[in-house]
Each structure stands twice: as structure tokens, then as C-alpha cells.
């Protein structure tokens, strides 16, 4: 599933525009916005892509830690999870030294 970050409408993974408000989900989905935010945060060193233990093979293959510029967009290409792609991002933070 994709969630529109403008109006919170949930749509299938293949939807490119929010049917309710017309937002471009490549930019204004919850996942796309969270990726943009992580990339802009200097404390975030790398981006982890997390998937459920029972996610489809495409999601399992995509799971892992990525350098910020190459982290893949969600939903994962070729995802066949029964409820749609449920992968999400987590930040890998820079160590803070006192
Ligand atoms: Zn919307
Ligand atoms: Zn999947």
C-alpha cells in the first residue's frame, strides 16, 4: 500500500497519483517524504530498508543498508506481497562522540 502524504488516502502500490487529491505519489507518498527527510538529515549516515519476515522475495532481496543517494524508492519494484509492499525506512545514525 502507498499512503498519500497530503490527504492520507491509502492506494494500491501501482497507483502513481492520489485519486482523491491528485498528489504525485513519487514525491508526496508517506514513504517518499520519509526518504527525502532522512536524506536531508545530517545525523543520518545510511538508510536501512526494513521488510517483514514474511515479505515477498523482491522485498527480501531489497532489504538492507544503503548509502543515502542509492536507497531504493518504495514500493519495491516487482513486489508481490499479498497486502502490497510494506517495506519501510529506518535511519542508521552517525555515532555521536562527546
Ligand atoms: Zn491525496
Ligand atoms: Zn514485497
Report how far ligand 2's centroid is from the alpha carbon of 39 (Å).
23
Report how far ligand 1's centroid is from the alpha carbon of 84 (Å).
18
- Backbone torsions φ then ψ of 6, nearest 5 degrees: -85, -50
Task: Please tell me whether the overall predicted TM-score, pTM, comes out greater than 0.85 for this model.
Answer: yes
Q: What SS3 state is found at 12?
A: coil
pLDDT band (50, 70, 90) for residue 97: low
User: Per-domain residue ranges for the chain?
Assistant: 2-93
pLDDT band (50, 70, 90) for residue 1: confident
Quick one: 91 exposed, middle or buried, by C-beta within 10 A (0-12, 13-18, 19+)?
A: middle
Ligand whose nearest atom lies closest to the CA of 24: 1
Amino acid at each position: 500500500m502507498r499512503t498519500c502524504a497530503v490527504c492520507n488516502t491509502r492506494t494500491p502500490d501501482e497507483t502513481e497519483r492520489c485519486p482523491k487529491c491528485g498528489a504525485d505519489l513519487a514525491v508526496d507518498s508517506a514513504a517518499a517524504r520519509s526518504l527525502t527527510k532522512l536524506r536531508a538529515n545530517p545525523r543520518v549516515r545510511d538508510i536501512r530498508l526494513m521488510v517483514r519476515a514474511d515479505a515477498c522475495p523482491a522485498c527480501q532481496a531489497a532489504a538492507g543498508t544503503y548509502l543515502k543517494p542509492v536507497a531504493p524508492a518504495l514500493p519495491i519494484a516487482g513486489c508481490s506481497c499479498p497486502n502490497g509492499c510494506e517495506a519501510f525506512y529506518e535511519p542508521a545514525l552517525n555515532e555521536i562522540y562527546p
